[in-house]
Amino acid sequence: MDVKATVIDILNDLTGSDVSDAMDTNLFDEGLLDSMGSVQLLLELQNQLGINVPVSEFERTEWDTPAKIVTKVEGLVG
């Protein structure tokens, strides 16, 4: 399972943009992700990768760029 590719695919679907070349772009500042999108992201990560991140433990500054999201998810999967 390629965690990075899965995360990028989820983000591309949620944002409607190709984020693979914008790994350090702040998704919230750019308006690509909002609180509803964050919940959808967590649900998709759970569905596709089997990881569980409670919304109460979701720290926006740790999940604001595709690169940070991939790093967090890789740590949770591995």
Q: What is the pLDDT of residues 15-68, one digit of tens each?
A: 999 999 999 999 999 999 998 999 999 999 999 999 988 777 788 899 999 999
How many structural domains comprise the chain? 1
Q: Strand, coil or helix: what is 10?
A: helix
Distance of CA 43 to the CA centre of its chain: 10
Residue 55 contacts residue 42 (beta carbons within 8 Å): yes
Whole-angstrom distance, CA of residue 7 vs CA of residue 44: 9
Q: Strand, coil or helix: what is 47?
A: helix
Please report, for the domain that includes residue 29, its CATH number. 1.10.1200.10
Whole-angstrom distance, CA of residue 55 vs CA of residue 10: 17
Q: Which domain range does residue 8 map to? A: 3-77
The whole model's pTM is what?
0.91
**What contacts 29, CB < 8 A, 6 or more positions away?**
64
